[in-house]
Amino acid sequence: MMALCWLRYGMGLFGAALFYVLFPGWLGGYVLVLTLLLPLFSLVFSLPTALLLRGEILLPPEGGRRAAPCPVQVHLKAPWGLPLARVAFQLQYENMFSHEKGRESHSFPLVRGEEWVDSAFTSHSFGVVQCRLRYFRGYDLLGLFPIFSRKGEGDRVLCRPLEGAGLEMGGHDPGQDGDQGKSPMGGEVRPYRPGDSLKSIHWKNSARLQTLLVRSEGGGRAGALVAFDLYGTPETLQSKLDRAWGLLSGLLRQEISCQVLVRRGEGQAECFHVENQGELQKLFWTLGEKQPAAPPPQGGSAPFAVPEGLYFRLEDEEEGEVQP
């Protein structure tokens, strides 16, 4: 594009020189000098505007999903609303969990001194994605000189996993009230043990989770424990995270609070409490900020120490299991 602008200016300069040869005198000299000084005037006029050009990245607060386009808006604004022949910038994306990277370049005239640019990126992996303006620059009114501005500010967004089946939890209460996503449980639940009274079985939630559950005598909200590690190949790891997101979302829709155990290295498992969608988003944001650690040696990973109760453990190959 800049080469085309220089070609046009060269043709204009050639025309001015030819006019001076054909019509020597003050008029031809005036046109030739003006043509020679025109790039300097253009640069001086556009320099403050281009240097003070600002770029801002706007990402959706709700985030996006992996393998789906995530919308991005770039707001470019020049001071005093002065125009530029052209603005060029490059968006860079990097997934902090998988280190997947991507770039996208844009170039357009800045006529009104302000422009909104709609774009999108697709991350094929779960994780927190860092978006930033790798560079952006303006061009003078003639488009002859690039003027580099300081780098624009970046922002981050969470690319959530796809929602897995979650152990076939439909999230609907077939009871008399028929409320979507409501749980009739008023207390803690645990798996059925021989000797438990049949009257204590919670039939509705047992049907949802496909295992016998009984009401315990304690009060408070129903709870479950979900445990998984961040080991495995990229494909199995993404599948495991999809199932973890689906399972936790399904439990929260049933108003079952969750305690989540996650092992990311050879140390002890980290414990997270998840009682709503905001805390679930925060949990996966924490997991997606860092690349997963290398798996421990064979047999070096200690089993999860879990209390008695409703317990889900997500493995690499299985969809999950409920263990007493």
pLDDT tens-place string over residues 158-190 = 999 987 655 444 333 333 333 333 333 334 566
15-38 mean pLDDT: 90
Long-range interactions of 21-26: CB distance < 8 A, separation 24+? none
Q: Domain boundaries in the chain?
A: 54-160, 187-323
pLDDT range class, residue 216, cuts 50, 70, 90: low
pLDDT score at 190:
65
E strands within 66-205? 69-77, 84-95, 101-110, 114-122, 127-139, 146-148, 155-160, 187-191
The answer to whether the beta carbons of residues 226 and 256 sit under 8 Å apart is no
φ, ψ of residue 44 in degrees (nearest 5)? -65, -40
pLDDT range class, residue 70, cuts 50, 70, 90: very high
Q: Is 25 left (phi over 0), alpha (psi -120 to 50) or beta?
A: left
CATH of segment(s) 54-160: 2.60.40.10
| pLDDT per residue as tens digits for the range 284-301 | 999 999 888 776 665 555
Residue 100: is its pLDDT beyond 60?
Answer: yes
36-65 mean pLDDT: 88
310 vs 141: which has the higher pLDDT? 141
The answer to whether the beta carbons of residues 129 and 70 sit under 8 Å apart is yes
Give the residue carrying structure tokens 């980290």: 270
Give the residue carrying structure tokens 């040869």: 21
Q: 84-95 and 127-139 as β-strands: parallel, antiparallel, unpaired? A: antiparallel
Kindly tell me the number of DSSP H helices and DSSP E strands found in the chain: 5, 16
Nearest to 15 by CA among 3, 34, 40, 32: 32
Burial of 87 (0-12, 13-18, 19+ CB in 10 A): buried
Q: What would the DSSP string read from start to end of 14-59?
A: HHHHHHHHHSTTHHHHHHHHHHHHHHHHHHHHHHHHHHT-EEEEE-
Q: Which of helix, strand or coil describes residue 106?
A: strand
314 vs 12: which has the higher pLDDT? 12
In order of 125, 156, 243, 289, 290, the CA distances from 121 in angstroms are: 12, 13, 24, 18, 20
The answer to whether the beta carbons of residues 126 and 288 sit under 8 Å apart is yes
pLDDT range class, residue 319, cuts 50, 70, 90: very low
Residue 50: is its pLDDT beyond 70?
Answer: yes
Residue 321: is its pLDDT beyond 60?
Answer: no
Percent of the chain with pLDDT over 70: 74
In order of 75, 121, 247, the CA distances from 161 in angstroms are: 28, 15, 12
Tokens of 114: 């302000």
